[in-house]
Structure 1
């Protein structure tokens, strides 16, 4: 029987994402001017930093609430990446003063629906080992 990966399996990736994301944001905010290049780098580093923050929580949720079949490592990383993309999207929209609670909830529901459909597709290809 296949098991859900633990946090220990993701520890190098978590540390790498956190150091690159938050370290890069620190350097970017303190040592550059907000021209177009550093702005896009800011959004990329937000995605990296919040993916690193969300990865332990996503792994914990999969360990705490196991499913059959258990998710592969790429599924867990993808779900943490959704958190990073969602955060960067909200920050980007807040700079343009476009974001509202309703719009944030609509985007959240949209991301959740996309992830549910992706998981359903993956489960349809799964076959138990005999």
Structure 2
């Protein structure tokens, strides 16, 4: 069978394509026999999504004072992300606990994710407004 047929059988988007049940079964049998695992980077590129949720902290994510730790909150974020098929990516803006993100346009790298949760009090309002205006999902 062709690469296109395999893509149609394995892909989530069928868009009117019809594959016979016999061909579908043969492709799936070959997938199992060969131990084929789809390349997640290629799948994410084709889907124009990567199933990554960003967490960006403007203060230290791992403070020494346990009372101010984000740990319990992040555990809940991780559980909800996993339940919805997402992985988390931690973006660090300040490893010292100081105010603000390091460097100009530091928030640009959050676009690697499908959306981002921002933590901390010293967020650059103009950059966040720009992300929202561009349609990037933020919390």
1 or 2, which has the higher helix percentage? 1
